Structure 1
Amino acid sequence: MEQVYDNSFKLVKFNLATNHIEEAYRFDGVLSNKSYINDVRVDTQRKVAYLTNSNEGGIVVVDLNSGIARQLLHNHYSVKHDPSFTLVVDGKEFKKNGQPVRLQSDGIALTPDREWLYYKPLTDNKLYRIKTAYLRDEELSEQQLEANVEDLGRFVVTDGMIFDTNGNLYMGDYQNYSIVQINPALEMKTLVSEERLIWPDSYSISPDGYLYISCSQINKQPDYNEGENKRVSPYTIYKMPLPA
């Protein structure tokens, strides 16, 4: 992976009412220049942001009041690709430049009460969670933190994920062009399978009960298809009603 230019990664807070930047949080001394900071979830009540490091593996916790950032679980197996898992997409092993793709912690989601953070590596089907109280506790050692990670088992290979207000978790199964729901009892069902769902990526849930889905078409990029560009424009965002 190419390096981050001049440690320029940052988390930016925009004021949508004024269309101005209010704050920029930086990670100097916390992350290496090979980090790939990806998904973010914000607890607006506790003023804490949680981000994933998808290249090296890790959960970054940012105190939005002080601006202090910490990277946690950096060496724990839960933020790493499961080496026993072979990722197959579109009928072949998912490779870049002839090498299997191995990306680490990526998708994260906060439960509606913000008490749990769910997360998973991008290129396998494992799912993990940890109480956010442990992530916020600066007194815990790394070993104590690791001991509180819960392995929830195998589900689907997904990019992003999101909770609804009832505690149901939604994922995009990019191997099968599908959207799945996992209920609080960890029972999974497929809601829709549709060939237009080309690598469902990130999500939003509207107040009127619709799930919005962006499709990034990552698996169609030339790097993963021996130089052939299989992407189709325009890129799309879909919506679907959430189950009653």
Structure 2
Amino acid sequence: MKTIRIAAAIALAFSLNVQAAESVPQERPIGHAERVFAFHDAMPTGVSVSETGRIFVNFPQWGDDVKFSVGELRDGRVVAYPSQAANADFSSVQSVVADGRGKLWVLDTSAPGFAAPKAPKLVAVDLATDQVSISIAFPSSVILPTTYVNDVRFDFRVGAQGVAYVTDSSLSGPGAIIVLDLASGKAQRRLSGHASTSPDPDFIPTVEGESMKVRTGDGSTQKFTVASDGIALSADGQTLYYSPLSSRHLYSVPAALLRDPKVSEAQLAAAVKDLGEKGASDGLEADANGALYATDYEHNSIRKRAPDGSWTTIASDGRLLWPDTMSIGPDGYLYFTANQLHRQAIFHGGHDQREKSYGLFRVKIDARPAPTK
């Protein structure tokens, strides 16, 4: 009987302790991240909101059952965009970007599973007609066997029909910024292998308390290294911001120097600025007021860089598992995907730890997107 009374006392103590634990302090979320859509099938990476508020997303070929590469959110579901038939011409889409001028641009890596690219291209869909209107193949001179075109920004204030700035976020070769003239289709590969477009050799991310490394079934590991990834163009078009995914540093370079073929690589490298640490980012975005936004995938957060260079966290929430791509809508919200990229099987010995659904979130910033014209 005495043993029973002791056991009962211990059970009561544990019960009281559990009740007390229900009100223990815990990390507070920052800002108000509102989930606006849940994805129950393939994992999304990119999102873009047009000047009329239409929302587009994409799904790369990374092993999921991808029914279509580009989709639009309509009436509470994702439908193939511009059509299921048109999606047959996309190989593996990494980014979609609405340009503020009535077009949605699709960046097709042509590298499913990060294989050697076959024919990467940039495709424009006319949002008024929902028809493909432009398709530009990247010249072979700027595409290496290791190239993985990742994200793109546009400036229609320069050149006959504007230019596109594209990051090469190679996993095994040199990173770079590719400058593509939209009228001629000519391109330049700039800052190829420069420190600012390369993975930081000392960087190992920590996500959900674990060092993020490629882990095989036999227990061996290797570093996960990704070159230049996020990219943003300042509101005046003068400065291009970018960052390797495998780094916590933000870099900038004058856009005019990038475009000028007469500027040597040495001169261009000398003009690159290391703007210091911002956190480990996948996506970057700029607004019309001169602010810059960066995802912080180590801390489930979105950060804002004011024009004076100071940083603040505008959203931090346990649901924001690997915030990826961002886009500013005409409603003054910053939209972004959260896709649990770090939980993929490649990082956990072949065991996929992702939990559906994946999310599309937004946070109010009361700003408009940086203009492209």
TM range (shorter): over 0.9
Distance 2:204 2:359 in 1: 28
Q: CA deviation at 1:75?
A: 2.3
Partner of 2:120: 9
Distance 2:236 2:365 in 1: 19
Tell me, yes or no, if structure 1 residue 72 matches structure 2 residue 187: no
- Matched residue SS, 1:236: strand
Distance 2:281 2:136 in 1: 27
Name whichever structure is richer in strand by fraction.
Answer: 1
Task: Give the TM-score, by structure 1 length.
Answer: 0.95
Give, as a single letter, the amino acid of the residue that structure 2 aligns with 1:63: D
Tell me, yes or no, if structure 1 residue 63 matches structure 2 residue 181: yes
Partner of 1:241: 364
Distance 1:197 1:173 in 2: 10
Q: Note the residue ranges of structure 2 that are not aligned, 5 or more in a row.
A: 1-112, 216-220, 368-373
Checking the alignment, whether the CA contact within 8 Å between 1:93 and 1:100 is kept in structure 2 is no
Distance 1:30 1:176 in 2: 34
Partner of 1:95: 213
| Number of positions where the alignment pairs a residue of Structure 1 with one of Structure 2 | 243
Q: CA deviation at 1:141?
A: 1.0
- What aligned pairs does 1:176-215 form with structure 2 within 5 A after superposition? 176-215=299-338
What are the Cα deviations for residues 144-197 of structure 1, in whole angstroms up to 9, with x where unaligned?
111111111111101011011111111111101011111111111111211111
Give, as a single letter, the amino acid of the residue that structure 2 aligns with 1:23: I
Q: CA deviation at 1:212?
A: 0.5
Name whichever structure is richer in helix by fraction.
Answer: 2
Distance 1:197 1:243 in 2: 21
Task: Give the TM-score, by structure 2 length.
Answer: 0.63
Could you tell me which of 122, 130, 146 is aligned with 1:19? 130
What are the Cα deviations for residues 28-86 of structure 1, in whole angstroms up to 9, with x where unaligned?
23211220100100112320000000013000000001110111000211101111222
Tell me, yes or no, if structure 1 residue 83 matches structure 2 residue 206: no
Q: Note the residue ranges of structure 1 that are not aligned, 5 or more in a row.
A: none
- Compare CA radii of gyration and give the structure with the larger one: 2
Checking the alignment, whether the CA contact within 8 Å between 2:235 and 2:286 is kept in structure 1 is yes
Distance 2:188 2:205 in 1: 31
Partner of 1:48: 163
Q: Which has the higher contact order (CA 8 A, sep 6+)?
A: 2
Aligned-pair identity in percent equals 40
Distance 2:203 2:235 in 1: 30
- Matched residue SS, 2:313: strand
Distance 1:24 1:33 in 2: 21
Distance 1:186 1:112 in 2: 15
